[in-house]
Amino acid sequence: MLEILSDGPFNTVQDLGRPSAVPWGVCAGGAMDRESLIRANILAGNTVGAAAMEIMFFPFKVRFLENCVFAVAGAPARATLDGTSFPPDWSMQAEAGQVLILQAPEKGVRSYLAVAGGIDVPVVLGGRGTDVKGGFGGFKGRGLQKGDRLPCGHAELHALPDGGVGLSGIAALPDKDNVVLGLIPGPEYEAFTQEAHSLLVTQHWTITPHANRVGFRLEGQSPLLTRQSLSLLSHGVLPGTVQVPPAGQPIIQMADANTCGGYPKIGIIAEPDLSVLAQMPPGSRIRFKLVTQEHALARMRARTEALQSLAEQVPAFKKHLLAS
Protein backbone atom coordinates (compact mmCIF):
# COMPACT_ATOMS: atom_id res chain seq x y z
CA MET A 1 0.00 0.00 0.00
CA LEU A 2 1.15 3.52 -0.87
CA GLU A 3 -0.17 6.84 0.32
CA ILE A 4 -0.04 9.77 -2.09
CA LEU A 5 1.12 12.95 -0.33
CA SER A 6 0.78 15.47 -3.19
CA ASP A 7 -2.09 16.46 -5.49
CA GLY A 8 -1.59 16.03 -9.22
CA PRO A 9 -4.56 15.83 -11.56
CA PHE A 10 -2.26 14.61 -14.36
CA ASN A 11 -0.56 11.96 -12.24
CA THR A 12 -2.33 8.75 -13.14
CA VAL A 13 -2.10 4.99 -12.85
CA GLN A 14 -1.13 3.65 -16.29
CA ASP A 15 -0.17 0.35 -17.89
CA LEU A 16 0.13 -0.59 -21.56
CA GLY A 17 -3.46 0.38 -22.30
CA ARG A 18 -6.53 -1.55 -23.39
CA PRO A 19 -6.10 -2.30 -27.11
CA SER A 20 -8.84 -4.93 -26.98
CA ALA A 21 -11.40 -2.24 -26.09
CA VAL A 22 -10.61 0.04 -29.04
CA PRO A 23 -13.27 -1.54 -31.27
CA TRP A 24 -15.82 -0.43 -28.63
CA GLY A 25 -14.75 3.18 -29.10
CA VAL A 26 -12.57 3.19 -25.96
CA CYS A 27 -9.21 4.92 -26.40
CA ALA A 28 -6.15 2.67 -26.35
CA GLY A 29 -4.74 4.67 -23.43
CA GLY A 30 -1.85 3.46 -21.30
CA ALA A 31 1.51 5.08 -20.62
CA MET A 32 2.47 7.91 -22.98
CA ASP A 33 6.14 6.86 -22.79
CA ARG A 34 5.71 3.11 -23.02
CA GLU A 35 9.43 2.39 -23.09
CA SER A 36 9.94 4.03 -19.71
CA LEU A 37 6.93 2.31 -18.15
CA ILE A 38 8.36 -1.02 -19.32
CA ARG A 39 11.82 -0.19 -17.93
CA ALA A 40 10.36 0.82 -14.57
CA ASN A 41 8.45 -2.45 -14.43
CA ILE A 42 11.48 -4.54 -15.36
CA LEU A 43 13.52 -2.85 -12.65
CA ALA A 44 10.77 -3.43 -10.09
CA GLY A 45 10.64 -7.12 -11.03
CA ASN A 46 7.22 -6.91 -12.68
CA THR A 47 5.81 -8.08 -15.98
CA VAL A 48 6.33 -5.35 -18.59
CA GLY A 49 2.69 -4.26 -18.64
CA ALA A 50 2.03 -4.02 -14.90
CA ALA A 51 0.21 -0.89 -13.71
CA ALA A 52 2.52 1.88 -12.50
CA MET A 53 2.25 5.64 -11.97
CA GLU A 54 2.76 8.19 -14.72
CA ILE A 55 3.90 11.36 -12.97
CA MET A 56 3.72 14.78 -14.62
CA PHE A 57 3.16 17.02 -11.64
CA PHE A 58 6.15 17.71 -9.41
CA PRO A 59 7.22 17.67 -6.68
CA PHE A 60 5.54 14.30 -6.30
CA LYS A 61 5.47 12.79 -2.82
CA VAL A 62 4.45 9.32 -1.77
CA ARG A 63 4.77 7.31 1.45
CA PHE A 64 5.30 3.56 1.38
CA LEU A 65 3.05 1.97 3.99
CA GLU A 66 4.83 -1.38 3.82
CA ASN A 67 8.28 -2.65 2.85
CA CYS A 68 8.54 -2.79 -0.91
CA VAL A 69 10.81 -2.64 -3.92
CA PHE A 70 10.11 0.21 -6.32
CA ALA A 71 11.73 1.71 -9.42
CA VAL A 72 11.69 5.09 -11.14
CA ALA A 73 12.29 5.53 -14.91
CA GLY A 74 11.38 8.01 -17.64
CA ALA A 75 12.10 11.72 -17.29
CA PRO A 76 15.08 11.84 -14.89
CA ALA A 77 13.38 13.44 -11.88
CA ARG A 78 15.71 14.15 -8.95
CA ALA A 79 14.64 11.44 -6.55
CA THR A 80 15.14 11.05 -2.82
CA LEU A 81 14.02 8.34 -0.43
CA ASP A 82 13.85 9.84 3.06
CA GLY A 83 16.35 12.44 1.90
CA THR A 84 18.81 10.01 0.30
CA SER A 85 19.13 10.65 -3.40
CA PHE A 86 19.46 7.96 -6.05
CA PRO A 87 20.01 8.03 -9.83
CA PRO A 88 17.48 7.78 -12.67
CA ASP A 89 16.45 4.35 -14.02
CA TRP A 90 16.97 2.90 -10.59
CA SER A 91 15.25 0.48 -8.21
CA MET A 92 15.36 0.77 -4.46
CA GLN A 93 14.07 -1.00 -1.41
CA ALA A 94 11.74 1.10 0.73
CA GLU A 95 10.93 0.42 4.37
CA ALA A 96 7.41 1.00 5.66
CA GLY A 97 6.97 4.69 6.43
CA GLN A 98 9.67 5.99 4.09
CA VAL A 99 8.82 8.91 1.81
CA LEU A 100 9.83 9.17 -1.85
CA ILE A 101 10.04 12.64 -3.37
CA LEU A 102 10.44 13.27 -7.10
CA GLN A 103 11.46 16.79 -8.10
CA ALA A 104 10.75 18.27 -11.55
CA PRO A 105 13.14 16.77 -14.11
CA GLU A 106 15.41 19.04 -16.17
CA LYS A 107 14.59 17.08 -19.29
CA GLY A 108 11.40 15.28 -20.18
CA VAL A 109 7.98 15.64 -18.58
CA ARG A 110 6.86 12.17 -17.46
CA SER A 111 8.43 9.96 -14.82
CA TYR A 112 7.25 6.45 -14.07
CA LEU A 113 7.12 4.92 -10.63
CA ALA A 114 6.61 1.17 -10.53
CA VAL A 115 6.23 -0.88 -7.35
CA ALA A 116 6.92 -4.60 -7.12
CA GLY A 117 3.65 -6.42 -7.68
CA GLY A 118 2.20 -3.51 -9.65
CA ILE A 119 -0.50 -1.08 -8.58
CA ASP A 120 -3.37 -3.40 -7.79
CA VAL A 121 -6.39 -1.55 -9.10
CA PRO A 122 -9.20 -3.51 -10.80
CA VAL A 123 -8.94 -4.49 -14.46
CA VAL A 124 -11.55 -2.56 -16.43
CA LEU A 125 -12.09 -3.42 -20.12
CA GLY A 126 -8.83 -5.36 -20.21
CA GLY A 127 -6.60 -2.72 -18.61
CA ARG A 128 -5.70 -1.09 -15.29
CA GLY A 129 -4.81 2.32 -16.73
CA THR A 130 -6.79 5.48 -16.01
CA ASP A 131 -9.16 6.67 -18.74
CA VAL A 132 -9.66 10.21 -17.49
CA LYS A 133 -12.06 11.14 -20.30
CA GLY A 134 -14.20 8.08 -19.63
CA GLY A 135 -13.79 8.39 -15.85
CA PHE A 136 -12.91 4.72 -15.36
CA GLY A 137 -9.88 2.53 -14.75
CA GLY A 138 -6.85 3.42 -12.66
CA PHE A 139 -7.59 4.81 -9.21
CA LYS A 140 -11.28 5.83 -9.22
CA GLY A 141 -11.00 6.87 -12.88
CA ARG A 142 -9.13 10.07 -12.02
CA GLY A 143 -5.78 11.68 -11.34
CA LEU A 144 -4.09 11.05 -8.00
CA GLN A 145 -4.87 13.21 -4.96
CA LYS A 146 -3.27 13.73 -1.62
CA GLY A 147 -4.52 11.03 0.74
CA ASP A 148 -5.20 8.39 -1.94
CA ARG A 149 -4.13 4.95 -0.77
CA LEU A 150 -3.09 2.70 -3.63
CA PRO A 151 -2.91 -1.06 -3.08
CA CYS A 152 0.12 -2.93 -4.42
CA GLY A 153 -0.03 -6.43 -5.84
CA HIS A 154 1.71 -9.34 -4.18
CA ALA A 155 5.43 -9.58 -4.79
CA GLU A 156 8.19 -11.64 -3.29
CA LEU A 157 10.44 -9.33 -1.37
CA HIS A 158 13.89 -9.40 -2.98
CA ALA A 159 16.53 -7.81 -0.84
CA LEU A 160 18.39 -5.19 -2.85
CA PRO A 161 21.81 -3.89 -1.88
CA ASP A 162 21.75 -0.63 0.08
CA GLY A 163 21.63 2.09 -2.52
CA GLY A 164 19.65 -0.10 -4.90
CA VAL A 165 20.44 -1.22 -8.44
CA GLY A 166 19.79 0.41 -11.78
CA LEU A 167 20.39 0.60 -15.47
CA SER A 168 23.13 2.50 -17.22
CA GLY A 169 23.52 3.42 -20.87
CA ILE A 170 19.90 4.51 -21.33
CA ALA A 171 19.88 7.01 -24.21
CA ALA A 172 19.36 10.55 -22.92
CA LEU A 173 16.32 12.45 -24.14
CA PRO A 174 17.03 14.86 -27.01
CA ASP A 175 17.34 18.61 -26.35
CA LYS A 176 13.98 20.26 -26.78
CA ASP A 177 15.30 22.35 -29.68
CA ASN A 178 16.47 19.38 -31.63
CA VAL A 179 13.97 16.54 -31.70
CA VAL A 180 14.12 14.42 -34.86
CA LEU A 181 11.31 11.91 -35.30
CA GLY A 182 10.87 9.24 -37.96
CA LEU A 183 7.63 9.60 -39.92
CA ILE A 184 6.11 6.87 -42.08
CA PRO A 185 4.12 8.41 -44.97
CA GLY A 186 0.42 8.00 -44.15
CA PRO A 187 -2.59 7.09 -46.32
CA GLU A 188 -3.15 10.66 -47.63
CA TYR A 189 0.55 11.61 -47.99
CA GLU A 190 0.26 11.73 -51.79
CA ALA A 191 -2.77 14.05 -51.59
CA PHE A 192 -0.60 16.86 -50.19
CA THR A 193 1.14 19.39 -52.45
CA GLN A 194 4.79 19.10 -53.39
CA GLU A 195 5.43 22.17 -51.29
CA ALA A 196 3.82 20.42 -48.30
CA HIS A 197 6.04 17.39 -48.84
CA SER A 198 9.05 19.64 -48.72
CA LEU A 199 7.85 21.74 -45.74
CA LEU A 200 7.05 18.60 -43.79
CA VAL A 201 10.70 17.56 -43.62
CA THR A 202 12.47 20.94 -43.79
CA GLN A 203 10.70 23.29 -41.42
CA HIS A 204 10.65 23.11 -37.65
CA TRP A 205 7.39 22.15 -35.95
CA THR A 206 6.79 23.60 -32.50
CA ILE A 207 4.71 21.74 -29.92
CA THR A 208 1.99 24.20 -28.88
CA PRO A 209 0.55 24.44 -25.34
CA HIS A 210 -2.31 22.27 -26.64
CA ALA A 211 -0.41 19.10 -25.88
CA ASN A 212 -1.88 16.46 -23.61
CA ARG A 213 -2.62 12.74 -23.43
CA VAL A 214 -5.17 13.11 -26.26
CA GLY A 215 -2.98 14.86 -28.80
CA PHE A 216 -0.13 17.28 -29.50
CA ARG A 217 -0.97 20.23 -31.72
CA LEU A 218 2.00 21.43 -33.74
CA GLU A 219 2.65 24.78 -35.34
CA GLY A 220 4.88 25.44 -38.30
CA GLN A 221 5.60 28.66 -40.14
CA SER A 222 3.83 27.49 -43.31
CA PRO A 223 0.79 25.20 -43.33
CA LEU A 224 0.59 21.81 -45.05
CA LEU A 225 -2.06 21.90 -47.73
CA THR A 226 -3.67 19.20 -49.83
CA ARG A 227 -3.96 19.62 -53.60
CA GLN A 228 -7.75 19.64 -53.22
CA SER A 229 -10.05 19.47 -50.23
CA LEU A 230 -10.55 15.88 -49.11
CA SER A 231 -13.69 14.43 -47.65
CA LEU A 232 -12.85 11.18 -45.90
CA LEU A 233 -15.22 8.70 -44.31
CA SER A 234 -14.57 8.07 -40.60
CA HIS A 235 -11.83 5.53 -40.00
CA GLY A 236 -9.88 4.04 -37.12
CA VAL A 237 -6.89 6.10 -35.97
CA LEU A 238 -3.92 4.87 -33.94
CA PRO A 239 -1.73 6.83 -31.50
CA GLY A 240 1.17 8.34 -33.44
CA THR A 241 -0.98 9.31 -36.42
CA VAL A 242 -0.26 12.83 -37.71
CA GLN A 243 -3.53 14.34 -38.88
CA VAL A 244 -3.70 17.59 -40.83
CA PRO A 245 -6.97 19.54 -40.54
CA PRO A 246 -7.78 21.96 -43.40
CA ALA A 247 -5.91 24.86 -41.74
CA GLY A 248 -2.71 22.89 -42.34
CA GLN A 249 -1.23 22.67 -38.83
CA PRO A 250 -0.69 19.04 -37.81
CA ILE A 251 -2.12 17.26 -34.76
CA ILE A 252 -0.36 14.16 -33.48
CA GLN A 253 -2.77 11.67 -31.94
CA MET A 254 -1.53 10.40 -28.57
CA ALA A 255 -2.50 7.59 -26.17
CA ASP A 256 -5.97 8.91 -25.25
CA ALA A 257 -6.98 10.00 -28.78
CA ASN A 258 -10.48 9.25 -30.08
CA THR A 259 -10.54 5.88 -31.76
CA CYS A 260 -11.64 7.25 -35.11
CA GLY A 261 -11.35 10.41 -37.11
CA GLY A 262 -11.74 11.90 -40.56
CA TYR A 263 -8.84 14.29 -41.16
CA PRO A 264 -6.17 13.52 -43.78
CA LYS A 265 -3.21 11.62 -42.34
CA ILE A 266 0.14 12.76 -43.68
CA GLY A 267 2.15 10.28 -41.66
CA ILE A 268 2.57 8.11 -38.60
CA ILE A 269 5.19 8.23 -35.83
CA ALA A 270 6.02 4.74 -34.61
CA GLU A 271 7.66 3.45 -31.42
CA PRO A 272 10.23 4.09 -30.08
CA ASP A 273 9.99 7.66 -31.43
CA LEU A 274 6.48 8.09 -30.04
CA SER A 275 7.81 7.47 -26.53
CA VAL A 276 10.45 10.18 -27.10
CA LEU A 277 7.79 12.62 -28.32
CA ALA A 278 5.71 11.91 -25.20
CA GLN A 279 8.57 13.37 -23.13
CA MET A 280 8.73 16.67 -25.03
CA PRO A 281 7.21 19.75 -23.40
CA PRO A 282 5.32 22.51 -25.24
CA GLY A 283 7.77 24.79 -27.03
CA SER A 284 9.93 21.88 -28.20
CA ARG A 285 11.01 22.03 -31.84
CA ILE A 286 10.55 18.92 -33.94
CA ARG A 287 11.85 17.92 -37.33
CA PHE A 288 10.51 14.96 -39.27
CA LYS A 289 12.55 12.46 -41.21
CA LEU A 290 10.68 10.18 -43.63
CA VAL A 291 11.15 6.47 -43.04
CA THR A 292 9.64 3.44 -44.77
CA GLN A 293 7.20 1.11 -43.04
CA GLU A 294 9.79 -1.68 -43.33
CA HIS A 295 12.40 0.44 -41.59
CA ALA A 296 9.98 1.48 -38.83
CA LEU A 297 8.89 -2.11 -38.31
CA ALA A 298 12.50 -3.28 -38.05
CA ARG A 299 13.22 -0.60 -35.44
CA MET A 300 10.10 -1.46 -33.47
CA ARG A 301 11.16 -5.12 -33.46
CA ALA A 302 14.70 -4.30 -32.40
CA ARG A 303 13.42 -2.21 -29.48
CA THR A 304 10.98 -4.91 -28.38
CA GLU A 305 13.77 -7.49 -28.47
CA ALA A 306 16.12 -5.21 -26.54
CA LEU A 307 13.49 -4.72 -23.82
CA GLN A 308 12.78 -8.46 -23.75
CA SER A 309 16.44 -9.24 -23.24
CA LEU A 310 16.59 -6.61 -20.49
CA ALA A 311 13.58 -8.27 -18.88
CA GLU A 312 15.56 -11.52 -18.78
CA GLN A 313 18.85 -10.02 -17.62
CA VAL A 314 17.65 -7.88 -14.72
CA PRO A 315 16.14 -10.67 -12.56
CA ALA A 316 19.21 -12.84 -13.23
CA PHE A 317 21.45 -9.99 -12.17
CA LYS A 318 19.46 -9.41 -8.97
CA LYS A 319 19.73 -13.11 -8.12
CA HIS A 320 23.48 -12.91 -8.64
CA LEU A 321 23.65 -9.97 -6.24
CA LEU A 322 21.86 -11.98 -3.59
CA ALA A 323 24.22 -14.92 -4.01
CA SER A 324 27.37 -12.86 -3.83
Per-residue binding letters, 16-55, with another protein (x by CB under 8 A): ---xxxxxxxx-----------------------------
Which of 3, 7, 80, 134 lies at the binding interface for another protein (CB under 8 A)?
134
Which of 96, 201, 260, 322 lies at the binding interface for another protein (CB under 8 A)?
260
Per-residue binding letters, 190-229, with another protein (x by CB under 8 A): ----------------------------------------
With vertex at residue 210, the alpha carbon angle to CA 204 and CA 215, rounded to the nearest 5 degrees, is: 85
Residues 280-309 that bind another protein (CB under 8 A): 293-294, 296-297, 299-301, 304
Q: How far is the CB of 46 from another protein (least distance, A)?
A: 20
Residue 322, Cβ density class (10 Å: 0-12 exposed, 13-18 middle, ≥19 buried): exposed
Closer residue to another protein, CB minimum distance, 34 or 265: 265
Closer residue to another protein, CB minimum distance, 124 or 218: 124
What's the CA gap between 296 and 111, in Å, rounded?
A: 26
**Rg from Cα positions in the chain:** 20
Q: Pick the piece of the chain touching another protein (CB under 8 A) from 101-109, 201-209, 252-260, 314-322.
A: 252-260
Which of 38, 55, 69, 268 lies at the binding interface for another protein (CB under 8 A)?
268
Q: How far is the CB of 317 from another protein (least distance, A)?
A: 24
Which of 30, 76, 105, 137 lies at the binding interface for another protein (CB under 8 A)?
137
Closer residue to another protein, CB minimum distance, 64 or 288: 288
Closer residue to another protein, CB minimum distance, 171 or 233: 233
Closer residue to another protein, CB minimum distance, 236 or 283: 236
Contact 27, 131 (CB under 8 A): yes
What's the CA gap between 190 and 324, in Å, rounded?
A: 60
Strands 78-81 and 84-86: antiparallel
Which of 104, 129, 160 lies closest to 281 in space, CA to CA?
104
Spatial strand order in the sheet of 52-55: 12-14, 52-55, 111-115, 68-74, 90-94, 165-166
Torsion angle, CA of 51/57/58/62, rounded to 10 degrees? -40
124 binds another protein (CB under 8 A): yes
Contact 161, 250 (CB under 8 A): no
Residues 86-115 that bind another protein (CB under 8 A): none
What's the CA gap between 277 and 256, in Å, rounded?
A: 15
Phi (first) and psi of residue 194, to 5 degrees: -60, -40
Residues at the contact surface with another protein, assessed by CB under 8 A: 19-26, 124-125, 134, 136-137, 184-187, 233-238, 240-241, 258-260, 265, 268, 270-271, 293-294, 296-297, 299-301, 304
